[in-house]
A and B are shown apart, each in its own frame.
Chain A
């Protein structure tokens, strides 16, 4: 079956790094994504990684993929108050490329 799991909450101090973790079940996933949902808004794609990659870095964001353990993580360096949001991990199952499966989202809150 297809399932994506994330922890529901994460709290970090401003300026520290945030690491949001995700596990998925479909080993044939082709793309894995991180979406961000700010308060009162829809989801917006932050970054994605193709399944043949181990790491992708984009400014303050680093995505790590461990295919063996089916584990995906998003690291946000120098976390700012503007990073407060819900972060969704998502995958495209090879068996159903026309739909994307989302995790339940991790709510990131920033402490001063």
Chain B
């Protein structure tokens, strides 16, 4: 158990819909990262938050947004869903903004299926 909790574990929805994925980081971790894992794209970095503020942005679509709340949990919002958004979405956390050893602690992921 990594200490990172993601909900829901599985989600099936239709094109055009909006979903919210939730992540609770490890106790004490200030940084939260979101990744998308799909069969043809591998593991893609989406966005990082540190102590409530956005710190780095990767290949995140404009239809997607995220935030980190004062209690450090984070939500990833996916809107106007398309078939190609079907993927496994991982949240990871780490202690701080600067990566010393680079260890990220991953949740088990939320599997999104768009029909």
In the assembled complex, the Cα of A97 lies from the Cα of B97 at a distance in Å of 8
Number of interface residues of B (CB under 8 A): 26
| Interface residue ranges of B92-115 to A (CB < 8 Å) | 92, 97-99, 101-104, 106-109
Choose one: A33, A41, A92, A104; the contact of B42 (CB below 8 Å).
A104
Contacts of B45 in A (CB 8 A): 99-102
Whether B102 pairs with A43 at a CB distance below 8 angstroms is: no
A-side interface residues, number (CB < 8 Å): 22
27 A-B pairs, CB-CB below 8 angstroms? A31-B102, A41-B108, A42-B92, A43-B43, A43-B90, A43-B92, A43-B104, A44-B106, A45-B104, A48-B102, A48-B103, A88-B43, A96-B56, A97-B98, A97-B99, A98-B31, A98-B50, A98-B56, A98-B97, A99-B45, A99-B48, A100-B45, A102-B35, A102-B42, A104-B42, A104-B43, A105-B42
